[in-house]
Amino acid sequence: MNWDQVEGNWKQAKGKVRENWGKLTDDDLEVIKGKRDQLVGKIQERYGVAREAAEEQVARFESR
């Protein structure tokens, strides 16, 4: 899955994002709207991880 597909199909992708990062709220998902950088930032904020760790998590998500 590439990020263009995620962004284009955000409504469907939100469920998969929620499965991976359950601490993200509906409001977070509305702010993210399929934007990779926004997702990384919200993961950092909600999970208290460094940007590098959040980037790695998103990269693993993309590779699935």
Q: What is the pLDDT of residues 5-63, one digit of tens each?
A: 888 888 888 999 999 999 999 999 999 999 999 999 999 999 999 999 999 999 999 88
Cα torsion 38, 25, 49, 59 to 10°: value is -50
**CATH number, domain containing residue 58:** 1.10.1470.10
pTM over 0.95: no
DSSP for 1-64 reads --HHHHHHTHHHHHHHHHHH-TT--HHHHHHHTT-HHHHHHHHHHHHT--HHHHHHHHHHHHH-
Q: How many domains, the chain?
A: 1
Domain that holds residue 57: 3-63
Residue 49 phi, psi (nearest 5): -110, 160
